[in-house]
Amino acid sequence: MEANKDILEMILTGEGIKPDSLKASEVADLISAYEHSLLSIIARENPKADLDDTFISLIDIQENSAHFKFKPKAKELFISAALIMNTALNTNQLESLPYKSVESLNKIWLLSKRKNCTTEFTSSEEIPKAQITPENEIKISGEFFYQGATNIYGVIERVGGTVPRVRIRLDDNSIIYVELNQNLAKAIAKNLYETVGLKGIARWRKEDFAIEDFEVEEILFYKDTTNELAFNELRKVVGSYWDEVPDASEYLNKIRYGEE
pLDDT tens track for 191-241: 999 999 999 999 999 988 889 999 999 998 766 666 677 667 766 766 566
pLDDT on residue 6: 76
pLDDT on residue 62: 77
Q: In this predicted model, which residue has the larger pLDDT, 221 or 182?
A: 182
pLDDT at 131 over 60: yes
User: Across the chain, what does the average pLDDT equal?
Assistant: 87
Q: Cα-Cα-Cα-Cα dihedral of 255, 257, 47, 99, to 10°?
A: 60
Q: What is the DSSP letter of 140?
A: -
pTM of the model: 0.74
pLDDT at 175 over 80: yes
pLDDT tens track for 9-28: 999 998 868 777 889 999 99
* Listed range (78-87, 215-224, 240-249) with the worst mean pLDDT: 240-249
**Cα–Cα distance between 119 and 43 in angstroms, integer?**
24
Q: Which runs of consecutive H residues, i.e. helices, occur in the chain?
A: 24-45, 75-91, 99-115, 182-189, 227-238, 248-256
pLDDT on residue 22: 87
pLDDT on residue 27: 92
